[in-house]
Structure 1
């Protein structure tokens, strides 16, 4: 949680739904996903342009053994050295899809 600004804004890139609008709102979600469950996020690739970082990830350990492909876009506050905005675009992986 130390990586995020206090007012970090997290949203779904497809629907625009707000997932969290502060670090306080984000923390329970991250605890549930990454400490209380077997969910794992593997970084497959990264692009950086100034203060914007785009990660290509694969998410495993989802309910019922699910796997998802994800693009995560992070906008960083370079002066603070923290992430201030995150947008996730993800889709459950179906059989036959290759990396």
Structure 2
């Protein structure tokens, strides 16, 4: 697989997320990448704003994203995941819909929709 293909880049991002490897995760994003709430507002722009969002999340001992489905259309990759989280009220999961736009081997835009929280 071409390491800069949209599929390879998004898979590298998911692998780094599950390994809690912040540096590897940041290498999958373009320096000026943007993250959005799906059909909503800007969450973060640029890796200096994106990094702390993941750094905080990586403090959760049970954090893990399980890929349910993935679609690739051109340079867009859409993942549906179940994410295990350590919420203030305890261990639980949320469904996440993640839409990534990949250009020149880096994620330039990512949009996220979060489903209902389910406690274990």
TM-score normalised by length of structure 1: 0.84
User: Secondary structure of 2:60's match?
Assistant: coil
Q: Which runs of 4+ in 1 moved over 3 A?
A: none
Q: Which residue of 1 aligns with 2:74?
A: 50
Q: Of 46, 60, 80, which aligns to 1:37?
A: 60
Aligned residues: 91
Does the Cα contact within 8 Å between 1:66 and 1:92 map onto a contact in 2?
A: no
User: Secondary structure of 1:92's match?
Assistant: coil
TM-score normalised by length of structure 2: 0.70
Looking at secondary structure, tell me which structure has more helix per residue: 2
Does the Cα contact within 8 Å between 1:11 and 1:87 map onto a contact in 2?
A: yes
- 1:1-99 aligned at under 5 Å gives the runs 1-14=26-39, 16-34=40-58, 36-38=59-61, 39-63=63-87, 64-77=90-103, 80-94=104-118
CA RMSD of the aligned region, Å? 1.5
User: Secondary structure of 2:115's match?
Assistant: strand
Structure 1 regions of 5+ residues with no counterpart? none
Displacement after TM superposition at 1:49 (Å): 0.2
Looking at secondary structure, tell me which structure has more strand per residue: 1
User: Secondary structure of 1:55's match?
Assistant: strand
Does the Cα contact within 8 Å between 2:92 and 2:118 map onto a contact in 1?
A: no
Does the Cα contact within 8 Å between 1:56 and 1:70 map onto a contact in 2?
A: yes
